[in-house]
Amino acid sequence: MIDLRSDTVTRPTPEMREAMARAEVGDDVLSEDPTVNALEERAAAIMGMEAGLFVCSGTMGNQAALFAHTQRGEEVILEQNAHIGLYEAGAFAVLSGLTLHKLAGRPWGALDPNEVRDAIAPDDAHRARSTVVCLENTHNVSSGTVIAPEQTRAVADVAHTHGLQLHIDGARIFNAATCLGLEPRVLTEHADSIQFCFSKGLAAPVGSMLCGRRDFIGRARRARKLMGGGMRQAGVLAAACHVSLDTIVPRLHEDHANARVIAEELARHDGISLDLNAIQTNIIRFSLDSAVMEGRRLAALMKDRGVLVDARGGQKFRLVTHNDVSADDARAVAQAFAEILG
């Protein structure tokens, strides 16, 4: 099957499995796992940060960041469709006792600096104190669109002027950097923290990284323990992540090209609502007019042709290309859509 439901379905490569088998390990909770320590140092350097913390998942990374940046009862400013607000099980409220101030993305998940400024709560005992601004790059719900460094800097300037921290949910930050032809640190240099995933487009089996200042990472390490994220001999996982940085990052442009092939075919058909300008990385989101076909029928017909797709909300779809989808696979998917949609 060609599985386009998410880039989380990727399987570790033979190189990853080999590296995992021979990984040097220790107790990471005691900071004694050399493979994890090396990965944290490497990731921090890539992101232009002082230190890193290896965590189980992107959600854990984001929530540890919020826990470390805030006090209970404070407020986070973020885009209305951000992953932190929609897809992390309300952890911001349960774990850290936070509220959210949601803003419209303008466009595609980027925040308007003026709207951020206006959203910051005044010094008023009646209001939750604004503490953190969050950006998501790439922006999942907007088809994996990219936030440019100048946009990040403008939001960071507002946040820092008013004493707030800027956190980037960079689950797919390497896709953003690839799209723009920039080093990741250019996209993060004005942020106070960044979380990115190894287990999505980078194809490792488990793990994410949280980077920031050394004192911040110290607080986040305590949050990781509180959340049950102390992983002991985690070097077997970190070893695969090293391979991701070596071998998967350099080929992300292929995933973007494959997404474009599929998206251009979909855009040819009546009844498909899809903005080709938003197809910048490896995510395709589109809607299907119910007058053409029921969404579940399209998903079933694609499955009959060997393609798994994610039908969201009945008529809404998300397709994600990744390391396990080749150029030939992308062409086969496009052909399957062509046959079904006429």
pLDDT digits (tens, 9 = 90+) for 232-265: 999 999 999 999 999 999 999 999 999 999 999 9
Considering the domain boundaries, does residue 312 fall inside one?
yes
Task: Please provide the DSSP assignment of 128-143 as one string.
Answer: PPEEEEEEESSBGGGT
Whether residues 136 and 275 fall in one domain: no
Average pLDDT value for residue range 179-201: 98
Let me know the angle formed at the C-alpha of 95 by 219 and 154, rounded to the nearest 5 degrees: 65
Considering the domain boundaries, does residue 292 fall inside one?
yes
Compute CA distances 234 → 18, 55, 147, 162, 312, whole Å. Answer: 15, 10, 32, 39, 34
Whether residues 230 and 291 fall in one domain: no
**pLDDT at residue number 106:** 82
Whether residues 130 and 205 fall in one domain: yes
**Boundary (domain end) residue, out of 249, 268, 296:** 249
Whether residues 169 and 206 fall in one domain: yes
**Boundary (domain end) residue, out of 229, 249, 269:** 249
Residue 258: give its domain's CATH number: 3.90.1150.10
Whether residues 73 and 134 fall in one domain: yes
Q: pTM for the full model?
A: 0.96
Confidence of residue 4 (pLDDT cuts 50, 70, 90): very high
Whether residues 232 and 337 fall in one domain: no
Whether residues 255 and 230 fall in one domain: no
Of 37, 30, 69, 34, the closest CA to residue 54 belongs to 37
Compute CA distances 170 → 21, 113, 164, 268, 329, whole Å. Answer: 29, 19, 19, 32, 27
**Boundary (domain end) residue, out of 222, 249, 276:** 249
pLDDT digits (tens, 9 = 90+) for 123-172: 899 999 999 999 999 999 999 999 999 999 999 999 999 999 999 999 99
Does position 116 have pLDDT exceeding 90, yes or no?
A: yes
Considering the domain boundaries, does residue 99 fall inside one?
yes
> Please, how many CA atoms are within 13 Å of residue 268, restricted to the half-sphere of its CB?
14
Q: For residue 271, give the 3-state DSSP assignment.
A: coil
Whether residues 134 and 191 fall in one domain: yes
Count up the domains in the chain and report the number: 2
Does position 107 have pLDDT exceeding 90, yes or no?
A: no
**pLDDT at residue number 295:** 95
Q: Are 168 and 194 in contact (CB under 8 A)?
A: yes
> Please, how many CA atoms are within 13 Å of residue 187, restricted to the half-sphere of its CB?
28
Whether residues 75 and 97 fall in one domain: yes
**pLDDT at residue number 105:** 84
Considering the domain boundaries, does residue 157 fall inside one?
yes
What domain range is 258 assigned to? 251-341
Considering the domain boundaries, does residue 93 fall inside one?
yes
CA distance from start to end of the chain: 22
Whether residues 166 and 94 fall in one domain: yes
Beta bridge partners of 54: 209
pLDDT digits (tens, 9 = 90+) for 287-307: 999 999 999 999 999 999 999
Residue 177: give its domain's CATH number: 3.40.640.10
pLDDT digits (tens, 9 = 90+) for 56-74: 999 999 999 999 999 999 9
Average pLDDT value for residue range 202-213: 98
**pLDDT at residue number 118:** 97
**pLDDT at residue number 314:** 86
Q: Are 65 and 212 in contact (CB under 8 A)?
A: yes
Considering the domain boundaries, does residue 29 fall inside one?
yes
Does position 311 have pLDDT exceeding 90, yes or no?
A: no
Q: Are 240 and 74 in contact (CB under 8 A)?
A: no
Considering the domain boundaries, does residue 5 fall inside one?
no
Considering the domain boundaries, does residue 92 fall inside one?
yes
Whether residues 71 and 204 fall in one domain: yes
Whether residues 42 and 149 fall in one domain: yes
pLDDT digits (tens, 9 = 90+) for 29-61: 999 999 999 999 999 999 999 999 999 999 999
Q: What are the structure tokens assigned to 299, written together?
A: 């998903």
